[in-house]
Amino acid sequence: MNRKNVEYLVAGALALYVVFLTRPAPALVVNLLSSTVAQVAALAAVIYVGATQSLLVAVVLALAVVMSIPSREHMTEADKKKLDKKPSAAPPKKAPVPHKKPAAAPANKEMFEHDKTVPEEPAPGGSAIASAASAEPTGNGSEKFTLQNAAPF
């Protein structure tokens, strides 16, 4: 077999290991990678493979090593026993229901009708010229230009 085929075969085998065996990782591999020295040695081996052999195999090998390294939960057995003895939390309380506002009185209705007659102020940053020439023809030209159907940019 030529070298490319061997690379693809090794990368495929490592990919199968990652997919099928890393959750949970085999006990032998977890025990092997439990020390910091072994983890540094495994990552050094990944760098060596990437620098001298194949970058593809090195990437898949790095993924396999990282997925196989045991998690670092720094809990002692006493901490675990405390968590087991702790009673479960009470169910959360429901959110308060907002009070309904009373319906508007007829006096408020008159106030709303009065607001309709108040002239609108021009928009902030708007031009006084644009508001003055809103829908009426300007000038005495024959074009009768209006801004009524102008397109907003």
Q: Assign 52 a pLDDT band (cuts: 50, 70, 90).
A: very high
135 vs 25 pLDDT, higher one: 25
Kindly report whether the global pTM for this prediction surpasses the value 0.85. Answer: no
Tell me the pLDDT tens digit for each residue of 12-29.
999 999 999 888 888 899
Per-residue burial over 85-97, b = 16 or more CB atoms within 10 Å of its CB, e = otherwise: eeeeeeeeeeeee
Tell me the pLDDT tens digit for each residue of 55-114.
999 999 999 999 998 887 777 777 777 777 766 666 677 777 777 766 655 554 555 555
CB 25 within 8 A of CB 64: no
- Domain boundaries defined on the chain: 27-72
- Angular region, 70: left φ>0, alpha ψ -120 to 50, beta rest: beta
Range from 13-22, 114-123, 129-138 that averages highest in pLDDT: 13-22
Q: How far apart are CA 45 and CA 61, in angstroms?
A: 9
Residue with tokens 């009070």: 99
